[in-house]
Amino acid sequence: MFNVVVIGATGYVGAEIVRLLQYHPEISISCAVSRSFAGKPYSNIYPNLKKIFDMPLSTVDMDLLCEKADFFITALPHDVSKDIIPKLINEGKRVIDHSALFRFRKRQTYEQWYGTAHGMEDLLENSVYGLPEFYRDNISQAKLVANPGCYPTCAILGIAPLLANKLVYTTNIIIDAASGISGAGRKSDLAYSFCETHENFKAYGITNHRHTPEIEQELSLLTGEDIMISFTPHLLPIKRGILTTSYLNLKDNNLTSDKLYEVYSEYYKNEFFVRVLEPGVFPEIKNVTGSNFIDIGVTVDKRLNRAVIVSAVDNLGKGAAGQAIQCLNLMLGIDEKTGLTQPALYL
């Protein structure tokens, strides 16, 4: 068994990491860390895990934690990760981090969009973006993996085959996405309270959402061009799940939906967690909730000669915790599907 420490174990992402690792035959949580609930049994915070994971939560004692495992998953705010990650790396630990600190190739991009100094350019240069479908080999050798954002995961995987095969123009890309409320984290905020979200649907972060440059970076690296997108996220009155619709202008006037399906099927033929749906079938959130799968549906709007791509992930699954465990499997040198093949909840 491999031991792993989960720091930030009581937020929604941390809780999903803990839950998913209960299915894992080769990984044991040696320590679960929470400043807010230190000393309390984990199942007191999440009673669904009573008799399954009752371990008392630990506080942040770096010397003690470093004795517990060689692998760490951190699900912390950016300002907290900044204090913890360098210490872990200096101790020779291998880390998967959920903050945005190490997702960008350029420090300036982080500072511009997150409005705070970075100060760890040496770690940034050696971090790996944790999207296995793009960087599998690099992840397997990495000391520090930056787990991607949930919106970027859904958007990037949704449109990558179009750009990789040069089927579309790289300008005027429009991405609309809608996420469940758990994407905002486990915090008290009026905007995410029941009466503000129930039977409501709204856009937010219009033209300035922080996941915009993350999507642009990966699409630019894929194409070798400087890509800019129009990205608009929306808040759904559901607990979890993301549905993304992307619009890209085609170069070929004769490309059909069936041909587009063939392109996607070929591109993702070796990717277990990417499910390309048959022509005329499109993703639904309930088919991915609780799983590490991304579903993708494709079609061509012949009137406008535009590809319309619909993709769906669980923001807590493939969009966060599931993807982190997929990366951890690669770092451990075991089958990346291990512990992650359970189907979506559906109901």
Check pLDDT > 80 for residue 120.
yes
0.85 surpassed by pTM: yes
Q: What is the CATH number of domain 151-314?
A: 3.30.360.10
70: left (phi over 0), alpha (psi -120 to 50) or beta: alpha
- Percent of the chain's residues with pLDDT above 70: 100
The single residue listed with the structure tokens 């579309």 is: 168
Q: Report the relative pairing of strands 306-313 and 294-301 from DSSP bridges.
A: antiparallel
What are 338's two structure tokens?
Answer: 């291990």
- Give the DSSP per-residue string, 48-103: GGTTT--PBPB---HHHHHHH-SEEEE---HHHHHHHHHHHHHTT-EEEE-SSTTS
Q: Model confidence at 190, in pLDDT bands (50, 70, 90)?
A: confident
Q: What is the 3-state secondary structure (H, E, C) of 19-30?
A: HHHCCCCCEEEE
**pLDDT above 90 (res 80):** no
Q: Which residues are catalytic?
A: 150
Q: Is the pLDDT of residue 92 over 90?
A: yes
* Domain 2-148+318-332 shares a fold with domain 151-314: no
Strand partners of residue 276: 296
Domain boundaries, the chain: 2-148+318-332, 151-314
pLDDT (tens digit, 9 = 90+) per residue, 222-262?
A: 999 999 999 999 999 999 999 999 999 999 999 999 999 99
Half-sphere exposure of 253 (CA within 13 A, CB side): 1
Tell me which of 3.40.50.720, 2.60.120.280, 3.30.530.20, 3.30.70.1450 is the CATH number of domain 2-148+318-332.
Answer: 3.40.50.720
